[in-house]
Structure 1
Amino acid sequence: MINFNGLLQDNFAVTSSNRSFLYGDGIFETLKVVNGKILFSEEHYFRLMASMRIVRMKIPMDFTLEFFENQVISLTDVLSLSNSARVRITVFRNDGGLYLPDQNTISYVIEATSLASKKYEITQDNFEVDLFKDSYVSAQLLSTLKTTSKILNVTASIFAKENDLNTCLLLNDKKNVVEAIAGNLFMLTGNKLITPPISEGCLNGIMRKQIIKVMKDFPEIEFSEAIISPFDLQKADELFVTNVIQGIQPITKYRKKEFKTTFSAQLLDKINGIIEN
């Protein structure tokens, strides 16, 4: 069962005139629901609203934070998934037009699946990555949004599978490392924690924001947003990937370099503490 424009129904059929299908003219949010609440709900809502404005979608007057939360939770309740669920809300421009749409009104569909755990856990002891260099992320505003135009991520995922990797790190058109296929990248070198700035084209991630917030609890670590080159990866003590579904996934190997996971585990404890409170 899904929620399509506020109506609970068994399925949702994409027509040949759907603009998200034809042109990738859509955006989405991936949420984690725990105990009947959306984690970091306000951050997700405001990112969704900002994304809709950037791509010139018309935001319905009733699309408030309360409406957003009710639409999600009504679905997880019906599916008996409110205990722990992964939810995706996809917003797309309504049919009509070619590249230039006939209208800017929107429709949305919400889907939910169960998650095994409420808390964030490091589920993979070994997590190997390498660079994906066949295509590049453009260092511009649209790259920071969660749009339905994700062919680069799809192709990189296939490359990772073909090469027995857990994921790939993506480069931007300046040849700097910006993110992983499904999450933001952080690098710990000595007492310095670095993540690429949004201006490099990385996703404006919700878990990325949470990590930045909790860094105040680690005064011994100097945090900054700075460019990461492929060469910098070899000098790092720890690398990890963040997103709202997995929380934090430490990288244990990049090429011949192996990494510690100590600080990743400490950060994950902090994030779980926020959820529990």
Structure 2
Amino acid sequence: MVNLNGTLIAKEKAAIAIANRGLNYGDAVFETLRFSGRKIYFWEDHYFRLMASMRILRMEIPMNFTMEFLEREILRTIDSLEKEEVSFRVKLLVWRKTGGKYTPITNDIEYVISFEKLDTPFYVLYEKAYEVELFKDHYIISGLLSTLKTNNRLINILGSIFAKENDYQNCLLLNENKKVVEALNGNIFLVSGNNIKTPPLTDGCLNGILRKQLISIFKKMQDFTIEEASISPFELQKADEIFITNTIQGIVSITKYRKKEFTNEVAKQLLPKLNLKVRMD
């Protein structure tokens, strides 16, 4: 089942207009949520990021689009099919209503909520080979729009095809200044000794929910210093450890970039702290 504007419909029967603005112009934003133990992980952060994104894109936020309303709709969608305690990946997609070309005739919105099962009820760190490479065919343009989760993901798609064709597990993306910005599916953190570094939002990286949570955790760990600063590709091979973060997977350790192999000691320290933060949130 999916929830299309408040109506529960079988996924195979759900339909949108051919003139849908999300389909035609990428005029849409979304949140990808992890749901486990009858709880949406870091829901408040996701909600306020969605509201901020809608405002930036000049979408009209309905009066009933409160945090409580959307949480109820997500729960109602999941409960329509699933009665057992299972973990899910939930996608909340919002688009501007049909009408107009580049200039919309209305800023009112529509939405859909969908979900799929996840394998684990909490974050785990997989001990497996995870090799990455730079994707240099296209660049992220630094600025506010690149920090939003919109339907404009062509770089991520092309980078994913490149990774698949060349047997990489992921790729790292660059901005127009040739600075490392993020991975195809999440933010990145570099560990060099006791110093932790992650790209700043001004470089064009996604304003990630897990990024925010881990920065908060690092600031409370006396053994480490955390800084938001631009990362040069030359720094990658000098790092002791690199990991990728996103709401669904949590922390993914990179094991190899070109000839450099990495440890995952800091990621191991972070994982229980992250799972604890989920429970306390």
The aligned residue for residue 187 of structure 1 is 190
The aligned residue for residue 66 of structure 2 is 64
The aligned residue for residue 9 of structure 1 is 9
The aligned residue for residue 137 of structure 1 is 140
1:106 aligns with 2:106: no
Counterpart CA distance in 2 for 1:124 and 1:16 is: 44
Counterpart CA distance in 2 for 1:82 and 1:47 is: 27
Counterpart CA distance in 2 for 1:82 and 1:213 is: 29
Call closer, same or farther: CA 1:236–1:20 in 2, change over 3 Å.
Answer: same
The aligned residue for residue 180 of structure 2 is 177
Structure 1 contact 19–25 (Cα < 8 Å) conserved: yes
Counterpart CA distance in 1 for 2:9 and 2:276 is: 36
Structure 1 contact 19–93 (Cα < 8 Å) conserved: yes
Structure 1 contact 33–82 (Cα < 8 Å) conserved: no
Superposed CA deviations along residues 140-159 of structure 1, whole A, max 9, x for unmatched, are 10000000111110000000
Q: CA deviation at 1:217?
A: 3.2
1:91-240 equivalence runs, <5 A: 91-240=94-243
1:22 aligns with 2:24: yes
Q: CA deviation at 1:77?
A: 1.6
Structure 2 contact 171–183 (Cα < 8 Å) conserved: yes
Counterpart CA distance in 2 for 1:236 and 1:61 is: 48
Structure 1 contact 240–248 (Cα < 8 Å) conserved: yes
Q: Indicate the percent of aligned positions where both proteins have the same amino acid.
A: 52
TM-score (norm 2): 0.97
Q: One-letter code of the match for 2:144?
A: L
Secondary structure at the aligned position of 1:235 is classed as coil
Structure 2 contact 28–95 (Cα < 8 Å) conserved: yes
The aligned residue for residue 35 of structure 1 is 37
Q: Which runs of 5+ in 2 are unaligned?
A: none
The aligned residue for residue 249 of structure 2 is 246
Superposed CA deviations along residues 200-227 of structure 1, whole A, max 9, x for unmatched, are 0000000001101111332111110001
Q: One-letter code of the match for 2:191?
A: L
Counterpart CA distance in 1 for 2:246 and 2:214 is: 10
Aligned length: 277
1:86 aligns with 2:97: no
Call closer, same or farther: CA 1:82–1:30 in 2, change over 3 Å.
Answer: farther
Q: One-letter code of the match for 1:252?
A: T
Structure 1 contact 137–172 (Cα < 8 Å) conserved: yes
TM-score (norm 1): 0.98
Structure 1 contact 14–21 (Cα < 8 Å) conserved: no
